[in-house]
Chain A
Amino acid sequence: MSEPISALNGARYDGIATIEELGLQGMITLRGDLDEKGLAKAAAAATDQQMPGPRKAHVTDDSGLCWMSPDEVLVLVPYAEVEDKLAGMVKALGNSHALAVNVSDARAVFRVSGTHAREVVAKLAPVDLSDGAFKPGDFRRTRLAQVAAAFWMEEDGAFRIVCFRSVADYVFKLLKVAAQPGSEVGVL
């Protein structure tokens, strides 16, 4: 088997915020009734996290659960364990009406950190990112300029951004432009 490599192979940019491509991240799309006990249990067993409420993410390092829509949750697991976790989850789901699929290689993950991280993301997404409106643990599916993306805020105020792998280069360039030195707006 050939060696898996992430979309931008760990590209990095330092401007008013630091942009990093995070490399390979195991991701499983889990669809079904999120209120169903069996599904919540299967998701929790794979990640050691509780099922998040609407627009929330429970993530520690590269394991966690992100609320995507009323019937979809994104399960984050370490890349090396994704097949095992998926098999365990499918077994735990049994006959319940749910679907779990490994989408790790269809995605790219970025981290935007630094004092101006909020500003960099706010330039690209139609989302209220002021202190009071968007807090650590909040999750949002939206767009970055012209492509779909999702992000959440980590405890230290950095953003983790997930997008499709096919647009990883576009998103990285967007973030680079938004983080150009001297481009602070100073409102967030």
Chain B
Amino acid sequence: MLILHCPCCGVDAEETELHAGGEAHIKRFGPGSDDDQFHDYLFMRENPKGVHFERWQHANGCGKWFHAARCTATLEVFGTYRAQTTEPPKDIRDAITAKRPGWVWREFS
């Protein structure tokens, strides 16, 4: 059972109260970009065994979106943070480094 702390309403919500929103921190390439960029934006996703960043919505709750950093292999949750950001905040990255030294995910480490 995955339990995530919703940073918007402060509830420790379990899986069935949440809705998964896919990978986090995807940079959009829209009008004006070339085909390769648009292709990558649409289809290319990380599929890591280990540290991963995801978007979640507290659907059966406050209804807000947030980000979560967790390990896909152990389901360990490193932390959750607000949706209004384009990169993981420092405290989350430090928390991951403490447990998974040398981790890399897209351009973050």
Contact = CB atoms under 8 A, between A and B. Distances in A.
Chain A CB within 10 Å — which of B13, B17, B61, B63 has the most? Answer: B61
A141 B8 CA distance: 13
Contacts of B13: 126
Interface string A77-94: 000000000000000000
6 contacts: A54-B9, A55-B10, A55-B11, A69-B63, A126-B14, A142-B60
Q: Which secondary structure dominates where chain B touches chain A?
A: loop
Contacts, number: 31
B17 A68 contact: no
A126 B17 contact: yes
A148 B8 contact: no
Interface of A: 54-55, 68-70, 126, 140-143, 148
A152 B38 CA distance: 47
Contacts of A141: 9, 60-62
Contacts of A148: 60
B63 to A, nearest CB: 6
B109 to A, nearest CB: 31
B93 interface: no
Contact of B62 (A70, A126, A143): A70
B9 A55 contact: yes
Interface string B1-18: 000000011110110110
Interface of B: 8-11, 13-14, 16-17, 60-64
Q: Which secondary structure dominates where chain A touches chain B?
A: strand
Chain A CB within 10 Å — which of B8, B17, B64 has the most? Answer: B17
A70 B66 CA distance: 13
Contacts of B17: 126, 142-143
A69 B17 CA distance: 15
A132 to B, nearest CB: 14
A187 B90 CA distance: 42
A54 B10 contact: yes
3 nearest A-B pairs in the assembled complex, by CB-CB distance:
A69-B62, A143-B60, A126-B14
Contacts of B62: 68-70, 141
B16 A140 contact: no
Contacts of B63: 69
Contacts of A70: 8-9, 62, 64
Nearest to A147: B60
A55 B9 CA distance: 7
A2 to B, nearest CB: 33
A75 B9 CA distance: 18
A184 B10 CA distance: 30
A148 B61 CA distance: 8
Nearest to A53: B10
B67 to A, nearest CB: 16
Contacts of B64: 69-70
